[in-house]
Amino acid sequence: GRQFFVGGNFKMNGSVDTIKSIVNNLNQAKVDPNVEVVIAPPALYLLLAREHLRPGLEVAAQNVFDKPNGAFTGEISATQLKESNITWTLTGHSERRVILKETDDFIASKTKAALDNGLGVILCIGETLEQREANQTIDVVTNQLRAVAKQVQDWSKVVIAYEPVWAIGTGKVATTEQAQEVHAAIRQYLAKEVSQTASDNTRIIYGGSVSEKNCNELAKEKDIDGFLVGGASLKPAFVDIINAQS
């Protein structure tokens, strides 16, 4: 079976004090040992989080660049993350796609660079409300995946986060049926265009207004292998989401 995976995306939130307190809270919490837990604080706090977080819990960057080093002001490379024991990175978050204008190909290139350097990647995909209403959801997510599949053959260190843009930060969580339908379509896409192994083994997690109230129902769906949590990952309730299956 696929190991349940819960990520906390802090986005541009937190301070030295609040990151320390979130980390201490996680260190002391009763966390289901069968769940893979990864937190993604802002870049400035990655080392602080890694230093204080107990072994077994992992730290992810929210972003990575696709070159190893050089004149790329403001960027951080996969080799730099790896060297600092930051073992995961997000790529393709909708806030980077929409606000920072990242393209499918750029996201694919970053995903490849991260994987080539031994990082795990939480690859975020998802449709806007407009695209959903135009019945383009499956086309949108498969196109986002196809750009990555052109550059990446080995998906064993990729976790796919399906995050419908209309559900992010809105309190409008996808229904279990809506989420399961897209997760199943993603798995089908992997079987058809990547490999049966990738389809069977790749964790597909859901993100968008996940809370301690809605996580248990979502976690029961057969193709939902965990969550990527935004707002609630900053709160003690994050632990309940980690333990959604137990």
Rounded to 5 degrees, what angle do the CA atoms 223, 224, 227 make?
A: 160
Q: Using the rule CB under 6 A, is 165 a contact of ligand 13P?
A: no
Map the footprint of ligand 13P across residues 125-164, applying CB under 6 A.
163
Q: For residue 56, how many other CB atoms are within 10 A of its CB?
A: 10
Q: Is 149 helix (H, G, I), strand (E, B) or coil?
A: helix
Alpha-carbon gap, residue 150 to 73, rounded angstroms: 28
Q: Which is nearer to ligand 13P, 14 or 207 (CB)?
A: 207
Q: How many residues does the chain have?
A: 246
Q: Using the rule CB under 6 A, is 190 a contact of ligand 13P?
A: no
Is residue 183 among the annotated active site residues? Answer: no
Q: At what angle do helices 176-193 and 137-149 cross, to 10 degrees?
A: 40
Is residue 163 among the annotated active site residues? Answer: yes
Annotate each residue in 78-107 with x if it binds ligand 13P (CB under 6 A) or - if it does not, as one string.
Answer: ---------------x--------------
Which range touches ligand 13P (CB under 6 A), out of 18-26, 74-82, 130-138, 223-231? 223-231
The answer to whether the CB of 38 falls within 8 A of the CB of 4 is no
Q: Which is nearer to ligand 13P, 194 or 231 (CB)?
A: 231
Q: Using the rule CB under 6 A, is 9 a contact of ligand 13P?
A: yes
Q: For residue 154, how many other CB atoms are within 10 A of its CB?
A: 12
Choose, by CB under 6 A, the member of 182, 208, 218, 243 that binds ligand 13P.
Answer: 208
Q: How far is the CB of 209 from ligand 13P (least distance, A)?
A: 4
Q: Using the rule CB under 6 A, is 168 a contact of ligand 13P?
A: yes
The answer to whether the CB of 207 falls within 8 A of the CB of 227 is yes
List 58, 127, 163, 183, catalytic entry? 163
Map the footprint of ligand 13P across residues 224-243, applying CB under 6 A.
228-232
Residue 146, by phi and psi: left (phi above 0), alpha (psi -120 to 50) or beta? alpha
Residues belonging to the active site: 93, 163
